[in-house]
């Protein structure tokens, strides 16, 4: 394995371990790798004292039923902790959240989008970006009334923050969805999200879909049983970073083998499905130059995967 990539693997494992050891503030382990990813993306080693301070700041401004609390609270805390002024970060996110609530019901997905908005949109443009998000979301809903749900608010926001309300971008996402749906027919929700996130990547929609399918086939041929649900969203980003699919597959295999040796992936740890998603997260940061929109895209894809796992667990318990 390349030395720089191995360093990224070490960082991911160390950051997960460090966050877990000090994680008196979370009982939901699936958020820990995402917190590690955020720290790596912002080139900041986890500072547990700062993260705990961020929790205090959140509690200072938000009651127990706030959408900035709950299962996703560790993500908010970590995101604030990598900023030079965590309190200002939260206040900006709450201002963005208030703007978004003019168009969407208050929920944790909207709060998460508000936090990402603080990095992708100028403060004075929060209201306009929120209105554009609603327009993009409505266009998605018009195309797929029953398929478009609360999880699509996240990616509608990302599209709006990057392009505004752009009909061409929405139409290209629709064409990409049709292409992907034919090849993953029982995963409509995930394919819609994958098509939406591809709009953040360079190139024509058809080429981006073809590269995603090529990488998916290479990964499966290499014996890595990569899933077809929301994990395809982050794979779509990875496939379109300009790296040859054979090289990506080889690197992914090496990263997966490394993670397999770590104790967090034992019998009572993260599943192989989780492990492959974590490998994609590491590789995206390894290949990716500074690109806040794509960095957020991968984070949002992991959030979608976490929410899907929560829904599956709730259905099983019912």
Q: Answer whether 112's CB lies under 8 Å from 120's CB.
A: no
> Which pLDDT belongs to residue 23?
60
Q: Are 300 and 162 in contact (CB under 8 A)?
A: no
Buried b (16+ CB within 10 A) or exposed e, 85-111: ebeebbebbbbbbebbbebbeeebbbb
Spatial CB neighbours of 20, under 8 Å, sequence gap ≥ 6: 29, 32, 264
The answer to whether residue 300 scores a pLDDT higher than 80 is yes
Residue 318 has pLDDT above 70, yes or no: no
The least confident of 21-35, 146-160, 194-208, 234-248 is 21-35
246-254 mean pLDDT: 97
CA 263 – CA 109 distance, rounded (Å): 31
Please tell me the predicted confidence (pLDDT) of residue 289: 76
Q: In the structure, what pLDDT confidence band is assigned to residue 194 with cuts at 50, 70 and 90?
A: very high
End-to-end CA distance of the chain: 45
pTM of the model as a whole? 0.93
Helices of type H across 121-204? 126-143, 152-163, 167-183, 188-198
For residue 24, the model assigns a pLDDT of 58
Express each pLDDT in 203-236 by its tens digit. 999 999 999 999 999 999 999 999 999 999 999 9
Query: Is the model's pLDDT at 26 over the cut of 60?
Result: no
Average pLDDT, the chain: 91
Which H or E run includes 250?
Answer: helix 245-260
Which whole-number Å values give the CA distances from 160 to 101, 164, 309, in the listed order? 16, 4, 27
pLDDT tens track for 273-282:
999 999 999 9
pLDDT at 154: 93
Distance from C-alpha of 290 to C-alpha of 154, rounded to nearest angstrom: 21
Give residues with Cβ within 8 angstroms of 113, minimum separation 6: 96, 100, 133, 153, 154, 157
pLDDT tier for residue 304 given thresholds of 50, 70 and 90: confident
- The percent of residues in the chain predicted with pLDDT above 90, rounded, is 74
């Amino acid at each position: 394995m390349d030395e720089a990539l191995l360093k990224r693997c070490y960082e991911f494992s160390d950051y997960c371990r460090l966050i877990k050891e000090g994680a008196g503030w979370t009982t939901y382990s699936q958020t820990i790798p995402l917190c590690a990813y955020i720290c790596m993306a912002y080139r900041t080693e986890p500072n547990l004292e700062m993260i705990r301070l961020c929790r205090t700041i959140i509690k200072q401004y938000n009651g127990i039923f706030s959408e900035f609390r709950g299962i996703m609270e560790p993500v908010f805390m970590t995101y604030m902790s990598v900023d030079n002024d965590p309190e200002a970060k939260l206040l900006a996110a709450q201002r963005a959240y208030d703007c978004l609530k003019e168009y969407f019901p208050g929920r944790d997905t909207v709060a998460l989008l508000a936090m990402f908005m603080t990095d992708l949109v100028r403060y004075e443009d929060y209201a306009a970006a929120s209105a554009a998000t609603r327009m993009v979301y409505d266009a998605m809903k018009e195309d797929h009334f029953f398929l478009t749900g609360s999880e699509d608010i996240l990616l509608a926001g990302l599209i709006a923050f990057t392009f505004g309300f752009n009909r061409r971008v929405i139409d290209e996402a629709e064409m990409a969805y049709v292409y992907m749906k034919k090849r993953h027919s029982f995963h409509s929700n995930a394919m819609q999200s994958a098509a939406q996130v591809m709009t953040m990547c360079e190139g024509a929609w058809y080429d981006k879909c073809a590269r995603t399918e090529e990488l998916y086939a290479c990964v499966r041929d290499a014996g890595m049983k990569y899933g077809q649900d929301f994990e395809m969203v982050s794979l779509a980003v990875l496939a379109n970073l300009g790296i040859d699919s054979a090289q990506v597959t080889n690197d992914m295999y090496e990263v997966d083998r490394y993670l397999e040796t770590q104790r967090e992936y034992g019998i009572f740890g993260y599943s192989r499905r989780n492990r492959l998603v974590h490998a994609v997260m590491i590789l995206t940061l390894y290949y990716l130059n500074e690109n806040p929109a794509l960095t957020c895209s991968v984070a949002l894809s992991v959030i979608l995967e976490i929410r899907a796992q929560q829904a599956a667990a709730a259905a099983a318990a019912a």
